[in-house]
Structure 1
Amino acid sequence: MSDKKAYPLRINAEVLAAMQRWSDDELRSLNAQIEYVLRDALRRSGRLGSAAAPSNPEND
């Protein structure tokens, strides 16, 4: 069972296109890339425990 929730997101077209290019470069889906960026920002700001964020030393 997944603990993920669907959430509609309104986003600027330019930002969305940039995220799509980034996700393509890293071989992730757009959804996975957005979640990765959000988790990384939360982890770096101390708002998310490090155990909840996947570790990827290449991107730190």
Structure 2
Amino acid sequence: MLEQVKHVLRHCFIKYLYAQHRWNIAGNKVEQRIGWRSTCSTSLFQKVEQAQPL
């Protein structure tokens, strides 16, 4: 279970960094924030984030 959670977090974080890079070039920071939240703010992600900060 913990390995699965770690994998989700890592995938999420990499997607965030990639999206941030793309959206920074486009200059669309609002969409960047919304995209990050919708992709990664699942209840599982929030629980893990609270339990052990990255």
Q: TM exceeds 0.5?
A: no
Q: Give me the TM-score of the superposition, normalised by structure 1.
A: 0.38
Higher helix share: 2
Q: Give me the TM-score of the superposition, normalised by structure 2.
A: 0.42
